[in-house]
């Protein structure tokens, strides 16, 4: 079975969704750049291997990323799943795990990369928002898209209500995408996310929750 590592910086709700989905692989570790995260406590309480690589202990992004990569490889991590990991990774790290490094982003990329995506969506007046699972490349939030989930933006929405609606979809599509990766049904080839199962893109690559297609 493939071994995967999950990187977190906070409570790790997407990490919890991945673990509770019982992915077809072995969790080789939950690693955080912060020692006091609630996500680490949640993982440890379930006897998952955990580790801390504290970015504050390193003089540069490059040295932190090198130590983080070494920790991942020491644990035999074949895939790296970013789940609320709030660090911009260096190009050398990204290239080291090319095709095996994925992220969940709270917008329908390429719209609203970076932070504060829900506020940006409300300010722009979009009618549809959502989340994206994508391969990570050196350009921030610009990697090939694996799967997206769309939700409506309601007239009454606040940042909090819209974020909650998007997060619910993140917890569905990220485990589905991770499962496809671990089973070899989706891979990165020639700069694109390629599905080996012809039926998969029609049923997974864009998810619109029932009753929300208008």
Concatenated DSSP letters of the chain: -EEEEEEESSS-HHHHHHHHTT-SEEEEEEEESSTT-HHHHHHHHTT--EEE--GGGSSSHHHHHHHHHHHHHHTT-SEEEESS---PPPHHHHHHTTTSEEEEESS-TTSS-SS-HHHHHHHHT-SEEEEEEEE--SSTT-SPEEEEEEEEPPTT--HHHHHHHHHHHHHHHHHHHHHHHHTTSEEEETTEEEESSTTHHHHHSEE--TT---
Residues with catalytic roles: 105
């Amino acid at each position: 079975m493939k071994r995967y590592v999950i990187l977190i910086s906070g409570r790790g709700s997407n990490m919890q969704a991945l673990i509770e989905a019982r992915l077809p692989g072995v969790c080789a570790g939950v690693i955080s750049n912060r020692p006091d995260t609630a996500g680490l406590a949640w993982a440890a309480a379930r006897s998952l291997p955990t580790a801390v690589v504290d970015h504050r202990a390193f003089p540069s992004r490059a040295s932190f990323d090198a130590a983080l990569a070494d920790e991942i490889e020491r644990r035999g991590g074949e895939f790296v799943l970013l789940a609320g990991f709030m660090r911009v990774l260096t190009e050398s790290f990204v290239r080291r795990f090319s095709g095996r490094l994925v992220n969940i982003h709270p917008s329908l990329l390429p719209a609203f990369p970076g932070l504060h995506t829900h506020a940006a969506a409300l300010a722009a007046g979009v009618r549809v928002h959502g989340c994206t699972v994508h391969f990570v490349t050196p350009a921030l939030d610009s990697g090939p898209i694996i799967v997206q989930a769309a939700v409506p933006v309601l007239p009454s929405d606040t940042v909090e209500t819209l974020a909650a609606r998007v997060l619910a979809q993140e917890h569905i599509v990220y485990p589905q995408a991770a499962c496809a990766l671990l089973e070899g049904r989706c891979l990165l080839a020639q700069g694109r996310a390629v599905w080996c199962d012809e039926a998969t893109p029609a049923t997974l690559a864009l998810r619109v929750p029932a009753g929300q297609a208008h």
